């Protein structure tokens, strides 16, 4: 068993190692931040760096003006609860952005929020789609300028000192520390995680230490509630992962609407601020991966699979038949559409013409080759590699995964390389959800999407090519 640790975005701003109390010198590359004084924000300030604006909460009038100045996307770093407070934000920002023809991306960085490399990648993708013509904002600019510094050092090649210098100029949170001390502070990265921040796969030793945490939510996603009654992890709520899917346009087993899935998670007492751990049994890690993928689709990246599932829970003596205490108030799970993880049938059609895209089929070999007659047409997408999902798991327990090195070798031997975009698929998206997480979270492939309709949807189109 192992516990994966992923350094969070917060480590870039709040948990560097103090080196010295003398002025840091930084020769920044690229545009210099310039404060914009002719536009209003409800708090903090507004800065322009190239085509990107970094700000506190804008007003409606500011959004209108920025749209006229070429902004194409609003990236909101405030949580849904913050944005719903009409005393603090006296207008519906999402609706206003859409009225202005702007894309709206919300990555709520709350006190227990998604301070992860995955969140940073979502923000970077939104900026890239619009060539940086964006408004990146929070409440007063602290989160936004911190994200800016993280983006610059991770993606633009700036040293940490250079990135912090840019962020500091716009109100990076470390300014408050320096003001209290009356001294400038220089930082360096250690390569170690700043706080215990488990990645997409956690082991039961970590769970045993953290199981009673106030913000932790455990989900038992085994389809059978009878199994849950017989014994489950302490504090775990039952949520049948199959409830997340249903018919769509008469195609079965499709992910439900964002609103419906958010409602289902809220009924399980999961909110955006919770650290979520998901498990099933040895025959059903796919229910776990599907639930974690669904959370990511809703913009909730702070979710993990428990390596070993219910078997590991039992071995750690964490089984109980008692239900968790009822919540004092219902959980809230605001709807956020994360477009970066999903490939539609239209995306697949476009990718068929783009030889740079790699398709990976997660089904068993006989389904991939079309020898079993399950679907309306049988075979696979032309050129697709076949990596059966079960090859990623340990032979003794399919709820335990192989090492990162073994998984990397498996994909690379199938010709799946990180230098090209990847679309994974299976029958209905369930099996491919495990490949999606392994490639994007464990192996850090930079461009991975899941074709949710899978072969079920693809095979209904007689005009699309089939290979077998």
Question: Catalytic positions, please?
Answer: 426
Tokens 């109980």, located at residue: 320
> Angle at which helices 285-297 and 258-267 pack, to 10 degrees?
120
Give the dihedral of Cα atoms 366, 370, 373, 378; nearest 10 deg. 140
Q: How far apart are CA 23 and CA 197, in angstroms?
A: 31
Q: How many CB atoms lie within 10 A of CB 264?
A: 19
DSSP string of 164-212? HHHHHHTT-THHHHHHHHTS--EEE--SS-SS--B-SEE-HHHHHHHTT
Q: How far apart are CA 58 and CA 39, in angstroms?
A: 9
**Phi, psi torsion values for 174, nearest 5 degrees:** -65, -15
Q: How many CB atoms lie within 10 A of CB 144?
A: 33
Tokens 């009878």, located at residue: 226
> Angle at which helices 117-129 and 142-155 pack, to 10 degrees?
80
β-strand partners of 423: 359, 449
């Amino acid at each position: 068993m192992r516990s994966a640790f992923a350094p969070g975005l917060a480590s870039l701003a709040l948990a560097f190692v103090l080196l010295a109390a003398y002025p840091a010198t930084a020769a920044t590359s690229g545009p210099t931040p310039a404060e914009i004084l002719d536009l209003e924000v409800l708090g903090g300030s507004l800065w322009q760096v190239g085509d990107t604006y970094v700000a506190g909460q804008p007003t409606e009038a500011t959004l209108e003006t920025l749209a006229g100045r070429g902004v194409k996307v609003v990236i909101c770093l405030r949580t849904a609860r913050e944005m719903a407070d009409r005393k603090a934000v006296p207008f519906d920002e999402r609706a206003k952005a859409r009225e202005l023809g702007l894309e709206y991306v919300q990555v709520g960085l709350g006190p227990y929020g998604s301070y992860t490399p995955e969140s940073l990648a979502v923000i970077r993708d939104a900026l890239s789609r619009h060539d940086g013509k964006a408004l990146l904002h929070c409440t007063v600019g602290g989160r936004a300028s911190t994200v800016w510094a993280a983006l610059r050092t991770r993606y633009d090649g700036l040293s940490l000192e250079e990135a912090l210098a840019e962020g500091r100029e716009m109100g990076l949170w470390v300014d408050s520390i320096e003001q209290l001390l009356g001294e400038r502070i220089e930082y360096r990265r250690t390569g170690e995680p700043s706080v215990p921040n488990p990645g997409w796969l956690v082991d039961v030793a970590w769970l045993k230490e953290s199981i009673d945490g106030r913000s932790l939510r455990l989900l038992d996603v085994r389809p059978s509630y009878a199994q849950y009654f017989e014994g489950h992890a302490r504090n775990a709520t039952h949520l049948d992962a199959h409830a997340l899917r249903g018919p769509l346009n008469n195609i079965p087993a499709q992910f439900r609407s964002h609103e419906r899935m958010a409602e289902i998670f809220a009924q399980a007492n999961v909110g955006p601020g919770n650290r979520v751990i998901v498990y099933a049994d040895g025959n059903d890690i796919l229910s776990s991966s599907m639930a974690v993928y669904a959370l990511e689709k809703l913009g909730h990246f702070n979710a993990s699979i428990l390596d070993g599932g219910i078997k590991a829970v039992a071995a750690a003596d964490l089984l109980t038949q008692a239900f968790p205490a009822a919540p004092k108030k219902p959980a809230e799970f605001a709807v956020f559409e994360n477009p970066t993880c999903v490939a539609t049938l239209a995306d697949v059609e476009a990718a068929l013409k783009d030889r740079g895209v790699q398709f990976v089929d997660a089904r068993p070999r006989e389904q991939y080759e079309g020898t079993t007659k399950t679907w309306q047409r049988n075979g696979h997408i032309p050129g697709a590699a076949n990596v059966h999902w079960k090859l990623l798991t340990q032979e003794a327990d399919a709820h335990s995964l192989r090492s990162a090195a073994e998984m990397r070798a498996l994909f690379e031997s199938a010709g799946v390389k990180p230098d090209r975009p990847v679309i994974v698929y299976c029958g209905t998206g369930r099996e491919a959800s495990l490949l999606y997480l392994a490639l994007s979270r464990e192996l850090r492939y930079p461009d991975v999407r899941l074709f949710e309709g899978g072969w079920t949807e693809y095979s209904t189109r007689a005009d699309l090519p089939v290979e077998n």
